[in-house]
Amino acid sequence: MEPIIAIVLALIGYALGSAKLINQGNEALVERLGRYHRKLKPGLNFIVPLVDQIVMEDTTREQFTDIKPQNVITQDNIYVEVDAIVYWRIRDIEKSFYAIEDLQGALTQLTTTTLREIIAQNTLEQTNVSRAEMDAAILDQLNNITADWGVEILRLDIQRITLPESVRKSREEEQAAVIKKRALITEAEGEKEAAIKKAEGTMASVQIISQALRANPDSRDILRYLVAQDYVDASQKLGESNNAKIVFVDPANSSEMFQELIAESVTQEGNGKKNEER
């Protein structure tokens, strides 16, 4: 019985030693007698104890590497600090183990170097405006190299570009100047439009008054009263200002002058109509 028990125990030990469970999302590499043998997929796998050895188990899920802030000089000689994150995934676990010694370190160094190189080819303005295009260029350049490592770079996000204090203040002043310029242009356009509306209103008023005078000459007394009332209102407004210079004008003379101008306008309109009738 003892030999049988020993055999059973040996078989159980062999089974336990040969059974390997690989979690979902992971893969493992097996070497036989020091050489690559095969790849283990997720689930229950069996190897030969003492002959086979699992040398690596890693995830094939998406991973990320945080690139520490880097000091980079742009094409227009401005120093900036760039902070980025690179997202990647192992596509071929065999290459990722045998083709590169330190995968994480190599990815960090390669991304840092490529990031500096691409930014150095662009001005500060291009770096801020064309960030998506710059990310795509960095991604293509990285994948050309990491394909030999069995790794695919999924995306690279430039999180922050920090400018020097002097450059930042200059850009803020420039932006403030642009905003002020726009405000002045808008104000000037508003004043121009208001002046045009006021002139149109004055012309319409003169036309209405001239038509009234032409239809009823007795309405000149009413016109004289309106002119005198405007004169009184203007005098009161000028008197309220400490810095205003008041100029006194005779209401009677001013009304007569205004009437003469309107009469002349009426005469011109009458002549124009006669010419049209002819």
Which of the pair, 83 or 238, is modelled with greater confidence? 83
94 and 133 co-located in one domain: yes
pLDDT band at 203 (very low <50, low <70, confident <90, very high): confident
In a domain, 151, yes or no: yes
Domain boundary among 115, 136, 163: 163
Beta-bridge partners for 26: 59
What are phi and psi for residue 122, nearest 5 degrees?
-125, 150
36, 82 in Cβ contact below 8 A?
no
Is the pLDDT reported for residue 74 higher than 80?
A: yes
Give the pLDDT confidence of 223-263 residue by residue, as tens digits: 665 666 566 566 666 666 565 555 555 545 555 554 554 55
Domain that holds residue 50: 1-59
Provide the CATH number for the domain around residue 83: 3.30.479.30
Average pLDDT over residues 54-68: 90
Q: What is the pTM of this model?
A: 0.56
Percent of the chain with pLDDT over 70: 64
- Counted domains in the chain: 2
28 vs 167, more confident: 28
Regarding whether 47 and 79 lie in a shared domain, the answer is no
One domain, residues 50 and 142: no
- Residue 257 belongs to a domain: no
- 80 shares a domain with 43: no
Confidence of residue 266 (pLDDT cuts 50, 70, 90): very low
Mean pLDDT of the chain: 76
Based on the domain organization, do 32 and 92 belong to the same domain? no
